[in-house]
Chains A and B, each alone.
Chain A
Amino acid sequence: MELRILAAPAEQQALLDLPWDMPLEEWPEWYLVALPRGISRHVVRFTRLNGRVYALKEVVESFAVREYQLLRDLERLGVPAVEAVGIVRGRQEPGGAPLESVLVTRHLQFSLPYRALFARMMRRDTVERLIDALVALLVRLHLLGFFWGDCSLSNTLFRRDAGAFAAYLVDAETGELHRSLSDGQRRHDIENARVNIAGELMDLQAGGRMDDTIDPTAMPDLVVDRYESLWQELTGWEAFDVNDRWRIARRVERLNELGFDVAELDIVTDIGGRTVRVQPKVVDPGHHSRRLIRLTGIDAQENQARRLLNDLDAYAARTEQQGEDEEIVAYHWVTDAYEPVLRAIPRDLRAKLTGPEIYHEVLEHRWYLSEQAGREVGIVEAARAYVDNVLRHKPDEDAVLEGPPTQPDLPVVVADELGAT
């Protein structure tokens, strides 16, 4: 048996102790953790070691190796995806019968499969936000030359992102990395996404877990529309009169608003010099996250970062620091607004959400309280109210478990999506 792991030494030791000489399906309960697994054609199990959760997928060796390498490549490219930890090959049962390899990935903290994103019923706006998140991920992958091959809600994990969702790729099994993608490849990916999402929504409906007003066969058309418009925005040629050069700046701004930095622009004037054509050449997602981390050191997702930066701007206006050096203002905002809010959260409730998400929710809650009270409620007061009225009642999301809300470390019986245990 060969264990190729990229884990830290503590992780390695813990991974070595797992019962590799048994088929994954037969692993005893006490090794496992129940997580909503999504629909998979392979055997997938989760295990918790030293407080971190790992996903284990049993596949033939060539597939495990290939997917492992792809996930590593995606990590290097900065794509939001699960992290590859290692492969276990050459497994055998005690009698010598060979067992398939296992791909080990680290579960993304605070990420959720789509089926866990709603308590009882999936609502229309949730579906739309999920589609938006998936489209944003798909566009990003396509820009990098990555062909997914099986884009679906089940192959994605979602993190809350200030009212929206950020999508992370989970299954790279059918993926391919090319220098760039042909139109046919991109269209194939979108069509797959459309059909898969329709099937997943139909399944939710069949299980009685979706709002009746949603038409699962029509909703996924949104995927195509939103993809096309985002793709056009990011890569399309735009032509205008040479006197309207402000439009170039406007194009860049629009891309920034969408969360992309423009690293290169192609600007071409025609022979007469009358028309200018502009096409973004290199676009990097994460415009707001980068700006936030540069100014404050806070690591947040794109939409969260946008929210926090807006709050920073509002703070600057309120405290009349608008003319000041932005780094100084940012520093003051962190010490006067951000940190006090996080300090107001009791330690035992910190596992519920990430810091930036909590801050965003406190901002929302403050708006709501201010409306109710008819006056401007202070941020720390809002934070305390938020803790009591909202946060206490939320489930822990650092690793979502199925079953009753007990301490996270208590193992729960594995729940297979298809009903088998």
Chain B
Amino acid sequence: MSAAPVPAGAAKPAPATLGLPMGADLPMAEAPAVPFVEIEALRAKEFIPAAKEALGALIAEQGQSRVIRPVFNWAGRNSLFPLHWGLACCAIEFAAAFGARWDAERFGVVPRSSPRQCDLMIVNGTVTWKVAHKLITLYEQMPEPKWVIAMGNCATGGGPFRTAYSVVPGVDKLVPVDVYIAGCPPRPEAMLEGILKLEELIRERKE
């Protein structure tokens, strides 16, 4: 790098023979076309007050819920963070959905390992009574707003173990469920379809 910053409009220094310093030759090292101070002034003096004024008029005309709520819903449905809750073979399909072939992250779905960072619980697998209270604890640790997807037949209704002594016949006996995904196990496409259905639900959220 050259020692002194290059002022705008100044002639470029001649390239050094040995390629040093290189930075002065790169476009990023040149002075910006619009000085940074002017952009800040534009933001502070004109854009934000104008935006506030337009938004205030829109809220006064249509009501706060119709203006603010869609923004929150748009942000929420495009950044669903599911909790790792793999109990059985459905978790394999859950993991495959985040692999290279299906790439669920392109919908903004990023699995997190802590319930306090999540707003979506995808229950994939057979829920037993032994683990039921742990599921409720993790659900209650998730911050509002939160949603639950029951993935697979076992989480939906107990599956082949519906009348068994140790299996919860459907995770909706423990926590409220928004979307059910059938299949044993569902393919990753089905899981993505369930997430898109949930995004439709969030899109119409009014509260």
Asked if A pairs with B, the answer is no
Using a CB–CB cutoff of 8 Å, the interface residues on chain B facing chain A are none
